[in-house]
Amino acid sequence: MFFVDTLELEGLGNRSYLAGGPDAAVVVDPPRDIDQVIAAAAKRGVRIAYVAETHVHNDYVTGGLELARVTGAAYLIPAGAHVSFAHAPVADGDTVTVDEGLVLRAIATPGHTPHHTSYVLEEDGRGVAAFTGGSLLIGTVGRPDLVEPRLTEELARAQHASAHRLADELDDEVPVLPTHGFGSFCSSAQAEGDATTIGKERETNDALNLDVDTFVARTLAGLDDVPAYYAHMGPANAAGPVPVDLTPPRRADAEEIAARLAAGEWVVDLRNRVAFAEGHVAGSFNFEGEGKLATYLAWLIPWGRPVTLLADTPRQIAVAQRELARVGIDRPAAAATGDPADWIRTGRQLASFPRARFADLADVRARGEDVVVLDVRRNSERAGGHIDGSVHIPVHELHSRIGEVPDGTVWVHCAGGMRAAIAASLLDAADRDVVAVDDGFDAATDAGLSLTSG
């Protein structure tokens, strides 16, 4: 009897899998913090016999090399991948026996990367689970544009062929278990639903329902911005990531926080955006620990810049540290928790800025007040409709383009409030007068604000 356990990486929008039988298991696309994988195997009472990568990942640092070292498992990596450490190369059609009656079979599925490989778990010769990595996802496929721009169209065509190969070789009831697609920017579109099968994908996935030319054109037209930190993930994974260190960072006092800010380092406040707006260390940036912390902090920060974390509790620091390690932001320089008043020097005041709704913005405009409306959504979001007269700078570009924001009080908005809070903190740190619009974008129309499409 086989099992498949799913390990959710919600912050990155990814999943890893532990699958096997009574005695042994394989781990597919493990996260960097391998302790949770080892704990899951211990709970099952199984030995990790294999660690399998579907591809050299572009969006997170893998824990595969360290997991294989710690457990003694064989490390399966597609033969076409270029890595600089010892491993077991896997080619199309190769099989390994995971446990009695359980075989893992490799299927070459290029598209997300040229070497991408899916794995089918077979029980007594029958496919029971397909680990599709960045190939066939829920209702979509993995992006084909993360390797090399000149290969994008070729890889999009390969995605179409790979999806059809999986559908042709597997029965309708076989579960499709992708790594990407749950918020990850490695997905060409976001998943609708939480689970799927080959049969469901036959009915709904464009890759299986459109001719190749139409599929490629639609896929390429829908590609969005690539997070800047992706450029560092592939090389880190190919070189072999170092073991992660999750021991607590050293405690920073008010003097050290001030010194680190003066030195141009990043001080990141993990508290919720309401608390941050009400009072924060001047110059600090707000990346909510409950939001997509790793994605957006790694996207915006100059790579390698030291980070000091501020939070309500040590647990929030520990969770954030784990999230950031997954994208290669290792070892915070320092951290502080508790009362924000303790994070500033004696005699200094906490900084603050107002929050508002779209209805408040409509009132201000109705009174004829001259304010700057800054839209920090992505290009694809803005194309669907934007506030007349608004300035557009995506949040991931704002830190380097803050000088382009017109003079005046800046009302900054996104689609829901989280990215507006990040942007407001960047503007506040640059001594701009800012109002953070903490509201869903649908409310802009309800408030009577005029929208323009395109």
pLDDT tens-digit readout, 242-265? 999 999 999 999 999 999 999 999
What pairs with residue 337 in β-bridges?
Answer: 311
Confidence of residue 454 (pLDDT cuts 50, 70, 90): confident
Contact 244, 69 (CB under 8 A): no
If you average pLDDT over residues 3-26, what whole number do you get? 95
Confidence of residue 10 (pLDDT cuts 50, 70, 90): confident
Q: What is the DSSP string of 137-157?
A: -SSSBB-S-SS-GGGHHHHHH
If you average pLDDT over residues 143-154, what whole number do you get? 95
Q: Which residue has the tokens 């990155």?
A: 12
pLDDT digits (tens, 9 = 90+) for 366-404: 999 989 999 999 998 999 999 999 999 999 999 999 999
- Angle, to 10 degrees, between the axis of helix 418-429 and the axis of helix 293-300? 40
Confidence of residue 285 (pLDDT cuts 50, 70, 90): very high
Q: Distance from CA of residue 330 to its chain's centroid?
A: 16
Q: Distance from CA of residue 355 to its chain's centroid?
A: 27
Q: Which of 222, 191, 224, 223 is nearest to 205 (CA)?
A: 191
| CA dist., res. 269 & res. 274, Å (int) | 12
If you average pLDDT over residues 432-451, what whole number do you get? 96
Confidence of residue 191 (pLDDT cuts 50, 70, 90): low
Burial of 67 (0-12, 13-18, 19+ CB in 10 A): buried
Kindly report each contact of residues 214-222 with a partner whose C-beta sits within 8 Å and lies 24 or more positions away, as own/partner. Answer: 215/156, 215/160, 216/153, 216/156, 216/157, 216/160, 219/141, 219/144, 219/156, 219/159, 219/188, 220/145, 220/152, 220/153, 220/156, 222/188, 222/189, 222/380
Q: Is pLDDT above 80 for 192?
A: no
Q: What dihedral angle (degrees, nearest 10) is formed by the CA atoms of 416, 419, 423, 429? A: 110
Q: Which residue has the tokens 């490390």?
A: 75
Contact 418, 291 (CB under 8 A): yes
Q: Is pLDDT above 80 for 87?
A: yes
| CA dist., res. 271 & res. 279, Å (int) | 11
If you average pLDDT over residues 37-63, what whole number do you get? 97
| CA dist., res. 215 & res. 160, Å (int) | 7
Per-residue pLDDT, 186:
77
Q: Does the CA dihedral 325-246-310-344 come out positive or negative? A: negative
Q: Which of 75-84, 182-191, 416-425 has the lowest mean pLDDT?
A: 182-191
Confidence of residue 159 (pLDDT cuts 50, 70, 90): very high
Contact 129, 19 (CB under 8 A): yes
If you average pLDDT over residues 75-103, what whole number do you get? 97
Amino acid at 281: V
If you average pLDDT over residues 83-109, what whole number do you get? 98
What percentage of the chain reaches a pLDDT higher than 70?
Answer: 99
If you average pLDDT over residues 123-148, what whole number do you get? 96
If you average pLDDT over residues 10-36, what whole number do you get? 95
pLDDT digits (tens, 9 = 90+) for 319-361: 999 999 999 999 999 999 999 999 999 999 999 999 999 999 9
If you average pLDDT over residues 170-175, what whole number do you get? 98
Q: Is pLDDT above 80 for 33?
A: yes
Give the mean pLDDT of the chain: 96
